Amino acid sequence: MITVSTAVQLIQEQTPQIDCEELGFKHLDGRVLAEDILAKRPQPPFDRVTMDGIAINSDDWKAMQPEFTLQATQFAGEAAITLKAGFCIEIMTGAVVPLNADCVIPIEQLDKTETGYRIKDAFNSRKHVAPGSNIHYQGSDHLENAVLIPVNTKLKASHIACLVSAGYAQAKVKIQPKIAVVMTGDELVKAGEPIKDHQIYASNGTALTSLLKMHHYTRVNEFILGDDAKVLTTALQAILKQHDFVITTGGVSMGQKDQLPQVFKDLGVTCHFHTVAQKPGKPMWYGTHNKTQVFGLPGNPVSAMITARRYILTALDNVNGLKRRTQMVRLSEDINFKPALTYFLPVKILYDQEARYAEPVAFNTSGDTVSLTRSDGFVELDANTVQFNAGDIVRFFPW
């Protein structure tokens, strides 16, 4: 039996490289960049007006000329007009600053006259009329070839907006790994089908698929298999060939029908560990077959969810070069846990003005999915500590 930290390290050492593909911006949400996104030109690409109003030359105002004759109107998207001395140009937000202009006076600070505009007395001062006022200068956000979005970034709406505004119609991203979620057990029945008293609905696959898709791992196939070794061997042989990650639930403990470790061995899967000093999820199994990652999780729903969140999402993130921010919270109450095991304790997060607190969620058994719905995730409590006190800072894993 190995420790949690050793298990994480062994999985990380087996992390394979992943290929990339090029996708249009409409298909990039949640995908991971495979290269830096560089600026094709400065931003802004020109001296840009930031307020509706008039463009003037501040030297004209310094010559005690608060009133300006209107020369022309210039809209966003039009080429820059050359400003004449003593005149003003009506200008719109987003337009190029006219040539010879160095200041924009907002429309709210102006009075309209018969021939143009006059600066209101309250704004006729150096504070409001100065070179650069209401102008966003070329390259002030970034220069050409600047890194806009670094490699290994998981893309969200703001990143995609940045891509498109920088002139990219597509981007290179990591290929989504193909994932198989395999539920095993003669007692399992597909949801919606008739069920007998001694049977249970196969919920693990749906739960794990939902967890994976919530984190943008969407290429997931679900399978339900019984406990027959020959059937398991035949089915898993095909599944291993077709997927990058194979996740099984059930069949890895010490029962007479827990045959997956032997089935994996017969299929040539290399076992890296079996059993981890943790609760829940002690019987967890991990191996590799060529480049395919194989995770044998316990069949109890709470155990399966926690071990999938702790290990499989971490492994998938490693494949994609992602590093999640470590989240720390304070315990809301004292906790005593004597076994020399890492304790994954489901919690609900409470907030106050100073910190986030983790309140333990009461569970009947590791099959108690109803109680699981009341949790926001779980905390990881160190195996070498028996007494944890209210206010102690511990690591939190949100679902």
Largest CA distance in the chain: 97
Helix boundaries (H) for 98-215: 157-165, 204-214
Q: What is the residue whose two structure tokens read 């949801």? A: 191
> Which residues, 6 or more positions from 210, have their beta carbon under 8 angstroms from its beta carbon?
none
Q: What are 16-40's pLDDT values in tens digits? A: 888 999 999 999 999 999 999 999 9
**Kindly report the CA angle at 317 between 343 and 328, in degrees rounded to 5?**
45
Fold agreement between 20-43+141-174 and 327-398: no
Cα-only R_g, the chain? 31
Q: 247 in helix, strand or coil? A: strand
CA pseudo-torsion sign 288, 216, 375, 355: positive
CB 70 within 8 A of CB 111: no
Domain 48-136: give its CATH superfamily. Answer: Molybdopterin biosynthesis moea protein, domain 3. (2.170.190.11)
pLDDT, position 368: 77
Task: Region of 100 please: left (phi>0), alpha (psi -120 to 50) or beta.
Answer: left
CB 101 within 8 A of CB 55: yes
State in Å, rounded, how far the first CA of the chain is from the last one. 26
How far, rounded to the nearest angstrom, does the alpha carbon of residue 280 sit from its chain's CA centroid? Answer: 26
Q: Where in the chain are the domains?
A: 4-18+176-320, 20-43+141-174, 48-136, 327-398
CB 170 within 8 A of CB 97: no
Q: What stretch of H or E contains 15?
A: none
> What are residue 196's phi and psi, to 5 degrees?
-95, 165
Q: Among 2.40.340.10, 3.40.50.720, 1.20.1250.20, 3.90.1150.10, what is the CATH number of 327-398? A: 2.40.340.10
The correct answer on CATH 3.90.79.10 for the domain covering 20-43+141-174 is no
Task: Region of 210 please: left (phi>0), alpha (psi -120 to 50) or beta.
Answer: alpha
Annotate 296-320 with DSSP letters as a single string.
EE-SSHHHHHHHIIIIIHHHHHHHH
Single-letter residue type at 244: D
Q: 327 in helix, strand or coil? A: strand
Give the separation between CA 84 and CA 59, rounded to whole angstroms: 12
The correct answer on CATH 3.40.980.10 for the domain covering 4-18+176-320 is yes
**Kindly report the CA angle at 307 between 306 and 312, in degrees rounded to 5?**
120
Q: What are 168-185's pLDDT values in tens digits? A: 999 999 999 999 999 998
CB 52 within 8 A of CB 107: yes
Other beta carbons within 10 angstroms of residue 186's beta carbon come to 11
| Percent of the chain with pLDDT strictly greater than 70 | 99
Confidence (pTM): 0.83
pLDDT (tens place) for every residue of the chain, 399 residues total: 999 999 999 999 998 888 999 999 999 999 999 999 999 999 999 999 999 999 999 999 988 779 999 999 999 999 999 999 999 999 999 999 999 999 999 999 999 999 999 999 999 998 889 999 999 999 999 999 999 999 999 999 999 999 999 999 999 999 999 999 999 988 888 887 888 888 878 889 999 999 999 999 999 999 999 989 999 999 999 999 999 999 999 989 877 667 999 999 999 999 999 999 999 999 999 999 999 999 999 999 999 999 999 999 999 999 999 988 999 999 999 999 999 999 999 999 999 888 899 999 988 776 778 888 999 999 999 999 999 999 999 999 999
Average pLDDT, the chain: 94
Q: What stretch of H or E contains 50?
A: none
Q: What are 378-398's pLDDT values in tens digits? A: 999 999 999 999 999 999 999
